[in-house]
């Protein structure tokens, strides 16, 4: 009898799951502009789909043509909240974000235009703007909102966090809450706040140790370059956008930025007595020369284009290394924006400044999460009491460590209470705690 009851319950559960999956599939069929296929379902979800959404190349003039934008949809329950992930970079995996687990939500990850497989033809960069990019997100929101009618939350990390902010500015009614992680909000092409950060972060002794290490690498370039050549050969790196020596010098200049960005400690820096092999190994762990190779520059080319035209970025001071640089100019600050095909672009700060002012007066229902030691915290959205928003700066955390799961229990509770208030729901964090805090 017991066995019969178990079989009946299992059959009923299967029927419910199959019916829901069938209804979601039917609902997707009913959406215009969407092509989809079923993919592996993440643990805890009922189904998952890879979407291809038809988008105008120019939302202001659809006659310019269309392209298909890739997205991943993980379905839990249509009545549950929906987290839209504005991450943007090449999306090869359907990763479930911690905020999705915390809210027990559905999730859609959207690959940005001009990244990965979401590239219009012809690849005309004049249509790679924040206005067009956020219009893509809005279109996806409007389509999926026909299925997922509950509260929507936007989130993203780094550039994805920046996009979350701009998306909310252009389409404030699309989501109820925005949670950008480690999102710089730059106001200049060469942000001098980065320099101020690098001049004050950590201890003076640590900053001196970083600078001494950079100089030691440059002074030994004749021995270091052959090591990096063989390393690059083995890794399959090529250098034509930048020469090999330019890539080497950029790698050394980038070292201090990456050191703090990724949460390294001063104890990791080899002492002056270390072998050159130890120095090079450490350099590559912190600032890999492959980041300046052709493949990587091409991979992030659209990101560099946006930074160089609307989103701002950073450069490198050379004053301390003037006598040690040979391939890069020493009387100016080389920029870290390597735009596709070295095209001539113009930086316009008007949108960034407009949105920055809006954030400080109307940017309600935002939760900003930053790493206290992350270089990008230098251009964080500054805390204010003028809006209903929360800021968290996690002490000692870098770009990859500034996450809800790494907050103190008191701060997690504060965040959950605010989310509950804004979303008008009760948050059950049992699943989140089991996944991240055990």
Residues 215 and 337 in one domain: yes
Q: For residue 2, tell me if it sits in a domain.
A: no
How many separate domains does the chain show? 2
Q: At what angle do helices 204-219 and 276-286 cross, to 10 degrees?
A: 110
Residues 149 and 207 in one domain: no
- Counting Cα atoms < 13 Å in the Cβ hemisphere of 177 gives 25
Residue 250: which H helix or E strand, with range? helix 244-261
Q: For residue 4, tell me if it sits in a domain.
A: no
Q: Which of 307, 342, 377 is the last residue of a domain?
A: 342
Residues 395 and 270 in one domain: no
Residues 176 and 94 in one domain: yes
Residues 228 and 119 in one domain: no
Q: Is 82 strand, coil or helix?
A: strand
CATH number at residue 363: 3.40.50.1820
Of 47, 101, 104, residue with least CA distance to 74: 47
Residue 87: which H helix or E strand, with range? strand 82-88
pLDDT tens for residues 238-285?
999 999 999 999 999 999 999 999 999 999 999 999 999 999 999 999
Dist CA 68 CA 82 (whole Å)? 22
**Containing structural domain, residue 264:** 192-342
Cα angle for residues 290, 296, 298 (degrees, 5° grid):
150
pLDDT tens for residues 64-90?
999 999 999 999 999 999 999 998 887
pLDDT tens for residues 144-173?
999 999 999 999 999 999 999 999 999 999
Residues 81 and 168 in one domain: yes
pLDDT recorded at residue 355: 98
Query: What number of helices (H) and strands (E) belong to the chain?
Result: 14, 9
pLDDT band for position 15 (cuts 50, 70, 90): very low
- The dihedral through the CA atoms of 228, 234, 239, 240 has a sign that is positive
pTM of the model: 0.93
Q: What is the mean pLDDT of the chain?
A: 94
Residues 48 and 134 in one domain: yes
Residues 99 and 159 in one domain: yes
* CB burial string 237-270: b at 16+ within 10 A, e below: bebebbebbbbbbbbbbbbbbbbbbbbbeeeebb
Residues 65 and 113 in one domain: yes
Are 127 and 58 contacting, i.e. CB atoms less than 8 angstroms apart?
yes
Residue 73: which H helix or E strand, with range? strand 66-75
């Amino acid at each position: 009898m017991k066995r019969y009851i178990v079989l009946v319950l299992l059959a009923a559960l299967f029927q419910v799951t199959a019916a829901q999956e069938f209804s979601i599939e039917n609902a997707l069929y009913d959406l215009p502009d969407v092509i989809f296929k079923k993919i592996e379902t993440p643990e805890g979800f009922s189904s998952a789909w890879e979407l291809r959404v038809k988008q105008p190349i120019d939302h202001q003039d659809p006659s310019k043509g269309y392209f298909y934008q890739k997205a991943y949809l993980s379905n839990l329950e249509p009545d549950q909240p929906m987290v839209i992930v504005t991450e943007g970079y090449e999306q090869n995996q359907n990763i479930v974000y911690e905020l999705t687990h915390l809210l027990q939500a559905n999730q859609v990850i959207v690959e940005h235009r001009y990244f990965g497989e979401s590239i219009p033809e012809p690849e005309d960069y004049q249509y790679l703007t924040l206005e067009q990019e956020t219009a893509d997100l809005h279109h996806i929101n409007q389509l999926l909102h026909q299925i997922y009618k509950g509260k929507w939350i936007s989130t993203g990390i780094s550039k994805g966090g920046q996009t979350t902010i701009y998306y909310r500015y252009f389409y404030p009614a699309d989501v109820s809450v925005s949670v950008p992680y480690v999102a710089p909000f730059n106001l200049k092409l060469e942000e001098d706040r980065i320099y101020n950060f690098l001049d004050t972060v950590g201890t003076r002794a640590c900053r001196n140790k970083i600078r001494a290490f950079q100089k030691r690498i440059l002074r030994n370039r004749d021995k270091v370059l052959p090591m990096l050549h063989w390393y690059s050969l083995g890794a399959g790196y090529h250098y034509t956008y930048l020469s090999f020596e330019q890539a080497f010098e950029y790698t050394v200049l980038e070292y201090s930025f990456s050191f703090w960005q990724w949460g390294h400690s001063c104890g990791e820096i080899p002492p002056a007595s270390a072998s050159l092999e130890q120095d090079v190994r450490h350099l590559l762990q912190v600032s890999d020369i492959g980041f300046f190779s052709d493949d990587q520059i091409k991979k992030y080319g659209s990101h560099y284009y946006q930074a160089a035209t609307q989103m701002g970025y950073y450069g490198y001071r050379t004053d301390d290394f003037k006598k040690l640089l040979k391939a890069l100019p020493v009387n100016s600050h080389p920029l870290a924006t390597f735009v596709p095909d070295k095209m001539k672009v113009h930086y316009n700060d008007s949108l960034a400044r407009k949105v920055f002012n809006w954030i400080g007066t109307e940017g309600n229902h935002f939760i900003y999460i930053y790493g206290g030691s992350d270089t990008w915290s230098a251009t964080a959205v500054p805390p204010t009491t003028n809006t209903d928003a929360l800021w968290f700066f996690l002490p000692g955390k870098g770009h990859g460590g500034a996450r809800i799961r790494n907050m103190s229990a008191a701060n997690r509770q504060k965040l959950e209470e605010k989310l509950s208030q804004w979303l008008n729901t009760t948050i059950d964090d049992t699943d989140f705690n089991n996944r991240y805090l055990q």
